[in-house]
Structure 1
Amino acid sequence: MPLPLSRRRMLMGAATGFGSLALRSIMAEEAMDNIHDSQNGLPHFVSRAKRVIFLFMHGGPSHIDTFDHKPLLKRDHGKPLPFAKPRVQFAKTGNLLASPWEFKQHGQSGHWVSELFPEVAKQSDKLCLLKSIHGSNEAHGGALLKMHTGSDTFVRPSMGAWISYGLGTENKNLPAFITLQPTLGHGGVQNFGTAFLPSKHQGVRMGHRDASISDVGIPDLISSFSDTAEQERDLFY
């Protein structure tokens, strides 16, 4: 039994006059691009920034193993902590532990980059590294909330929600803010929530922490008639 044609493939193979079916919709969307209206996914003011990409890797490598060179930590490796241990401990607090990776300075900027990222080090002059960030909450949940919302005690919109609210989206049919396999602990939905902003700026959750990466996705966007390679060809050619 022959597989049915996808909408994209049908428009590609049909006569040229048949493309006018989609032309009206495309032209209508372009005509609305200059209207700063919240219904069209655009902000109610002209933004100075063009785009913002914010990636947060939950459980990523430590800063002292990547870009934050600590020569004194290497010198004092194995020594006891130079301050009193906290009253509440979730596990036994050990001694100072230096990074096992070597650091070198790169580029005209002199950024310190560990040997974990040899290719990133070649682009060090294109990077802006902020090493002044600090927190007031030692717990993972509170620290994550403060990272994403600016507060570990009050309900505030997440950074992704603010970016979506401030910049809008160039494609009203796709989410401007997504979260892949988020955990429901360590701040939970507040890390990608909107608080008092409109709910359309909330992050679209795809999968959950215990799901396999192959199961992460939106079922309605996956074709049951075409394999991945064919869908990629339709998308790029």
Structure 2
Amino acid sequence: MNPLQQNHQHLNRRHFFGRSATGIGTAALASLLAKDGFSANTIADTPVAEKPRFGGLPDLPHFAPKAKRVIYLFQNGAPTHVDLFDWKPNLKKLHKEPVPLSYIGDRRFSTMTGKADGKLLLAPIEPFAQHGESGAWVSELMPHTAKIADELCFVKSMHTEQVNHAPAINFMLSGGEMPGRPTAGAWLTYGLGSETDELPSFVVMTSITKDTSCGQIFYDFYWGSGFLPSRFQGVKFRGSGDPVLYVSNPDGMSREMRRGWLDDIAAINELKLQEYGDPEIATRIAQYEMSFKMQSSVPELADLSGESRETLEMYGPGVQEPGTFAHNCLLARRLVERGCRFVQLMHAGWDQHNSLTTELYKQCRDTDQSSAALVRDLKQRGLLEDTLVIWGGEFGRTPFLQGDINNRERWGRDHHPYAYTLWMAGGGVKPGISYGATDDLGINVVENPVHVHDFQATLLHLLGVDHERLTYKFQGRQFRLTDVHGHVVKDILT
């Protein structure tokens, strides 16, 4: 449906509310009914035990979903696949040898590398070993992830076209390298709504490893709604103090008083909505209501006092320190427990151009334990089956050296879009498999390539969405997350 049709439909509904005897009271009643599961947005013929749905399009999901929610552990800066998950013994054998030109061809690399010919191959900086019944290869840098190898689906044939961070991250999250398109979380919130009206459907948290020199900027468009109405954009939780500003009432303001003020403001906004039909006015009304509810739900969400000692220890040091990756991982589990649709954790510090032998170790220590703990915790609580967990970055890193081969403390790797690895767990993906493969040096994909758009199509498919049918008309054409590309990677689905 195009925005003009939506506005006409919206105006007709609002005119009905405004001219009926009960006016806004009818809208309030509808909200209360929705809270109890009687909303028209609740999926038809849903069993009583199922959670109600708030928002979303009436014809979605297109088919039975295998996942109901997503936790995306996005690793900003591009983790090095050949040092973590893509074991290449030949790379070790040819350490310090020039890159064979037959592997490079006319490949374009970042301006920091320039031409790749003449560059020296660099062996993985730590040993690998096989783990679990699946025999997955994992570096000793990731001992906790290695222990859950049989829960993971490693996709080792990811590739992209973008060679720099911001365009590549935006491409991975929104399907376009330029800002302005809706991100995956916004698309899913628009299409599927939420299982709660007490918390945002799409929540974002950011973190960075302490004392690292290779952080990236967290741009707001990484969780933006693009041309979708702004109520679908991600809500960013803060990393210090209260997760949300002004979650507490100021001195002298009671909850009853705030409720009265919001009702009066809503009445004024309803009149403006009737007059102009601007979807941003509807967003304002919805966000005021959400803010009021979050004054109760957010403090309870952030209170970890009810978590067991075993759970806190499982997530590792820093779990009770707001702003750390471990803390955000635990909050992510608590968010999906409470009905949040899409939780996006963004952790910076993986950009090791000349710090593989120092800062890569910090990154792994900072993220390995809590990432694995999240998967284990979800499984223990029966949530992993219908929660999709994703771990990965925007591209990989070059199997050849950036830096001085004679100074190990300055070894690094440049950006590498032609092959990289991510892993997924739960939510309808096959556990204990490695899908796709790169050549014997980890430079090019040689088996079952998975493009970014294929990954996005598969993500939507797991949540019951046909990526070709979830569209939004903007500037005269129908847009979708996968643009005009993308194929579902069916081989990794349960």
TM-score range for the pair, normalised by the shorter chain length: 0.5 to 0.7
Contact in 2 for aligned 1:144/1:186 (Cα 8 Å): no
Please name the residue that 2:41 is paired with: 35
Alignment length (residue pairs)? 203
C-alpha spacing 1:220/1:88, structure 2 compared with 1 (3 Å): closer
Listed as ranges, the matches of 1:187-202 within 5 Å are 188-202=219-233
Q: State whether structure 2 residue 239 is matched by structure 1 residue 221.
A: no
Q: State whether structure 2 residue 206 is matched by structure 1 residue 175.
A: no
TM-score scaled to structure 1, two decimals? 0.67
Question: In structure 2, what is the Cα distance between the partners aligned to 1:120 and 1:235?
Answer: 22
Question: In structure 2, what is the Cα distance between the partners aligned to 1:206 and 1:214?
Answer: 9
Report Cα offsets for 1:12-53 as digits up to 9, x if no partner.
xxxxxxxxxxxxx9876123366349x933442342332222
**Which of residues 58, 64, 67 in structure 2 aligns to 1:44?**
58
C-alpha spacing 1:205/1:51, structure 2 compared with 1 (3 Å): closer
Question: In structure 2, what is the Cα distance between the partners aligned to 1:114 and 1:107?
Answer: 14
Question: In structure 2, what is the Cα distance between the partners aligned to 1:33 and 1:65?
Answer: 50
Please name the residue that 1:90 is paired with: 112
Please name the residue that 2:85 is paired with: 67
Report the CA distance between 1:106 and its aligned residue: 1.7
Question: In structure 1, what is the Cα distance between the partners aligned to 2:170 and 2:108?
Answer: 22
Contact in 2 for aligned 1:64/1:70 (Cα 8 Å): yes
C-alpha spacing 1:35/1:63, structure 2 compared with 1 (3 Å): same
TM-score scaled to structure 2, two decimals? 0.35
Match for 2:202: what amino acid?
Answer: F
Question: In structure 2, what is the Cα distance between the partners aligned to 1:67 and 1:234?
Answer: 35
Please name the residue that 1:136 is paired with: 161
Report the CA distance between 1:91 and its aligned residue: 6.3
Please name the residue that 2:187 is paired with: 162
Question: In structure 2, what is the Cα distance between the partners aligned to 1:28 and 1:81?
Answer: 61
Listed as ranges, the matches of 1:86-125 within 5 Å are 89-90=111-112, 95-125=120-150
Question: What is the SS of the residue equivalent to 2:123?
Answer: coil
Q: State whether structure 2 residue 152 is matched by structure 1 residue 127.
A: yes
C-alpha spacing 1:186/1:232, structure 2 compared with 1 (3 Å): closer
Report the CA distance between 1:103 and its aligned residue: 1.0
Question: In structure 1, what is the Cα distance between the partners aligned to 2:245 and 2:109?
Answer: 48
Identity of aligned residues (%): 35
Question: What is the SS of the residue equivalent to 2:129?
Answer: strand
C-alpha spacing 1:233/1:206, structure 2 compared with 1 (3 Å): closer
Deviates further, 65-74 or 126-135 = 65-74
Report the structure, 1 or 2, having the larger strand content. Answer: 2
Question: In structure 2, what is the Cα distance between the partners aligned to 1:36 and 1:165?
Answer: 15
Question: In structure 1, what is the Cα distance between the partners aligned to 2:153 and 2:243?
Answer: 32
Match for 2:97: what amino acid?
Answer: K
Report the CA distance between 1:66 and its aligned residue: 1.9
Please name the residue that 2:73 is paired with: 55
Report Cα offsets for 1:145-197 as digits up to 9, x if no partner.
211112225742112212222332111221122222489x7783332112222
Contact in 2 for aligned 1:206/1:217 (Cα 8 Å): yes
Deviates further, 67-76 or 52-61 = 52-61
Please name the residue that 1:21 is paired with: none
Question: What is the SS of the residue equivalent to 1:130?
Answer: strand
Match for 1:72: what amino acid?
Answer: N
C-alpha spacing 1:88/1:99, structure 2 compared with 1 (3 Å): closer
Question: In structure 2, what is the Cα distance between the partners aligned to 1:140 and 1:34?
Answer: 42
Question: What is the SS of the residue equivalent to 1:72?
Answer: helix
C-alpha spacing 1:159/1:176, structure 2 compared with 1 (3 Å): same
Stretches of structure 2 lacking an aligned partner (at least 5 in a row): 1-30, 44-52, 209-215, 251-298, 309-494
**RMSD of aligned residue pairs (Cα, Å):** 3.9
Question: What is the SS of the residue equivalent to 1:64?
Answer: helix
Question: What is the SS of the residue equivalent to 2:138?
Answer: strand
C-alpha spacing 1:176/1:65, structure 2 compared with 1 (3 Å): farther
C-alpha spacing 1:118/1:189, structure 2 compared with 1 (3 Å): same
Deviates further, 59-68 or 109-118 = 59-68
Q: State whether structure 2 residue 236 is matched by structure 1 residue 205.
A: yes
**Which of residues 171, 177, 201 in structure 2 aligns to 1:152?**
177
Contact in 2 for aligned 1:182/1:205 (Cα 8 Å): no
- Greater relative contact order structure (CA < 8 Å, 6+ sep): 2
Question: What is the SS of the residue equivalent to 1:143?
Answer: helix
Question: In structure 1, what is the Cα distance between the partners aligned to 2:303 and 2:70?
Answer: 28
Match for 2:72: what amino acid?
Answer: F
Report the CA distance between 1:141 and its aligned residue: 1.8
Match for 1:196: what amino acid?
Answer: F
Match for 1:150: what amino acid?
Answer: G
